[in-house]
Amino acid sequence: MLKQLSVFLENRSGQLVQITEILTKSSVNIRAINIAETNDYGVLRLVVDDNEKALSVLKDEGFIVKTANIVAAAVPDSVGGLNKLLLSISKHDIDIDYMYSIFGKSDGLAYMIFKVKNPDQLINVLQEDGYNIAGPDALGIN
């Protein structure tokens, strides 16, 4: 199963660059990034090439980090591509907590990352509808 890291951040200048500095020093490559924010704080979600390393260096620096399972599905690069994908999900009454995008490492495809309550169910549903579900290799994750 693909994993993402989420990090608690305060909504103030200098918070993000602290994270990217730490990851750079540890030679961790960020593959996808997403931020959800309020006026006071935010949650940074990261897909990186080395989860374990990123998790340990960020924790060492005092950040609160959590790991969660995610699902990445290839989105056809044409009008209605995302719409069709979302229709597949909604017809099974699956609630999407949030989503963001990532590029395949070498296949040139665009993928949508989904956070849902039951990722196994989502994978089955999408595979039945013929979608290409990315494994770590396709996304450049070790």
Residues that bind another protein (CB under 8 A): 4, 6, 8-10, 15, 36-38, 40-43, 45, 62-66, 68, 97-98, 115
Minimum CB–partner distance for residue 128 and another protein (Å): 27
Assess contact for 89 and 125: CB atoms under 8 A: yes
Kindly tell me which of 74 and 116 has the beta carbon lying closer to another protein.
116
Q: Give 96 or 110: the residue with its C-beta nearer to another protein.
A: 96
The residue among 63 and 111 lying less far from another protein, judged by its C-beta, is 63
Residue nearer to another protein on the CB measure, 7 or 126: 7
Query: From the CB of 9, what's the least distance to another protein, in Å?
Result: 7
- What's the one-letter identity of residue 48? V
In the complex, the smallest distance separating the C-beta of residue 67 from another protein, rounded to whole angstroms, is 9
